[in-house]
Amino acid sequence: MSCPSSPWWKGATIYQIYPRSFLDSNGDGIGDLNGIRRKLDHVASLNVDAIWLSPFFTSPMKDFGYDVADYCGVDPMFGTLEDFDTLVEEAHARGLRLIIDQVYSHTSDAHDWFRQSRESRTGPKADWYVWADPKPDGSPPNNWQSVFGGPSWEWDGRRQQYYFHNFLVSQPDLNVRNPEVQDALLDAARFWLERGVDGFRLDAINFAIHDAQLRDNPPSGLDISKVTRPFDMQRHLYNMSQPEIPAFLERVRALLNEYEASFSVAEVVGANPIGEMKAFTEGETRLHSAYNFDFLYAERLTPERVRRSLEQWSGADGEGWPSWAFSNHDAPRAVSRWASPAYRKQAADMLLLLLLALRGNAFLYQGEELGLPQGEVAFEHLMDPEAIANWPRTLGRDGARTPFPWQSSEPNAGFSTGEPWLPVDPAQQALAADTQDGAEGSTLELTRALTAIRKASPALRGGTMEFLPAPAGVLAFHRALEAERWLCVFNLLGTPVDLPGALRPQGEVVASAEGLSPAGSGLPEKLGAWSGFWARV
């Protein structure tokens, strides 16, 4: 059963598809919209509520689609607008909603808006991007550093000014302070809503507005030997996270309210994101949800980290609704970050059990349902500009973007008949979907079982969450709504642990990291390494 008073998105499970790497339908080595359409039955079998589709827009692909050259176009490598319309129609026919990325902080330098903006200081789009004069000595207007390394300012000879870029040089920042820019972005959003999308994930939205005075950022105090880029050497008080952002988000929400049952979720990047997440989602006039990198960049998973993240969302009146992800296209896969190779299968299963038990929305990244580890990508095959710039100090993002393994015995794991844009990792091919489909004890079948339970449970989708005392390395909490009550217990250690009597009340284990439990299964006295369970109590 479901809670009839809650909107579809509250407590939803949302499956992220990275189009380049899902399925190639035409043999060019790059995944596409028709490939996604062919695998909608697989997605629907996961009992998820929606798909989040990463960028497929027209782009020179210097940042693989997050450098948008046309907000209302489909890049030919992914297909056509007609292909997209068919995808929306067939997703909806399977009960799947579809949300897409919107990148509002910057465009590609190949976007026509930027071409017009750089032509002169007096043209109709002169103020659509962030331009500034040099200092008297010719240096950039301030000390801001880009995420991908080096100064955030690039000299443009045509305007005789610097333009601002938080990311790549080829990704100039929009001047979202300008109402005309906001209008244009909302027009693009309306274009997709009219085509049937069910909402948006707003990429790096706290980068969307800059300090109008262009003040210098203060130093962070971090040791350069402890970080990988100059960006981390500053406190980002002025190049991002400005107080005017929520007012723009209210305009986004007002547009979404014109379309029934639409949904919005913000990506909030930064070391201390909770204040912004709450500001972006509070009340009924801003975004529906937000997520950050609490888990995506965490080197270790501990009970303390989970509690610290979840307890910041009390459920108070007017508070927004959180979303959680352990893996995505921007972060190394969690099972490789948190578990040793010997425990990867157990950890993959337990992490699914944990993610789907948290209060909030659960984002599953393609391949999590197979327990995929981080893909191995040799330096000569790297595509990610961040990985190349910081090699070998970071794992980069390519290893999370390797092609989805569909068939264990087919060339390129059944992803493509051509040469894939990133190599297929043999360790991932061994976990291909065809080897797990219908296989008892597989991570894929466990995913299907857990998502079905969550989907039918008002308590797991939208109930309260109460943390319980537990031994070191063990996380325990109740999820409850009215008479429905669950006890969720997880061993985050690589060694077995004894459970105290307080965590073994009268109850019935329904699911564990080993799979579904037979009816009447009692609560265990010991939990194995990287294990856990859900019990009705």
**Residues designated as active site:** 203, 258
Residue whose C-alpha is closest to residue 348's, from 437, 433, 429, 444: 444
Distance in angstroms (rounded) separating the CA atoms of residues 537 and 533: 12
Please state, in angstroms and as integers, the Cα–Cα distance from residue 76 to each residue in 70, 418, 456, following that order: 12, 17, 40
Tallying the residues shown for the chain, one arrives at 537
Gap between the Cα atoms of 311 and 291, Å rounded? 14
Q: Distance between CA 250 and CA 284 in Å, rounded?
A: 9
- Residue 170 contacts by C-beta under 8 Å, 6 or more apart in sequence? 60, 62, 63, 67, 108, 109, 110
Biggest distance spanned by C-alpha atoms of the chain:
78
How many CB atoms neighbour CB 441 within 10 A? Answer: 11
For residues 356 and 453, what is the distance between their CA atoms, to the nearest angstrom?
10
Distance CA 132, CA 339 (A): 47
Close Cβ partners of 428 (under 8 Å, ≥ 6 residues apart): 367, 370, 372, 373, 375, 402, 405, 413
Across 147-262, where does the E strand assignment appear?
153-156, 161-164, 199-203
* C-alpha closest to that of 396 among 329, 481, 456, 313: 329
CA distances from 415 to 30, 53, 408, 410, 477 (A): 9, 18, 10, 9, 40
Of 45, 6, 8, 39, nearest to 22 by C-alpha is 39
Written as one letter, the residue type at 174 is L
Nearest by Cα to 234 from 245, 244, 249, 224: 224
Q: What gap in Å lies between CA 57 and CA 80, rounded to an integer?
A: 10
**Structure token digits, residue 311:** 């307890």
CA 53, CA 48: separation in Å to the nearest integer?
Answer: 14
> What is the DSSP code (8-state) at residue 501?
G
Q: Which residues contact 115 (CB under 8 A, 6 or more apart)?
A: none
Residue 202: strand pairing partners:
102, 266
Q: Got the DSSP string for 91-108?
A: HHHTT-EEEEEEE-SB--
Cis bond leading into 136, ω under 30°?
no
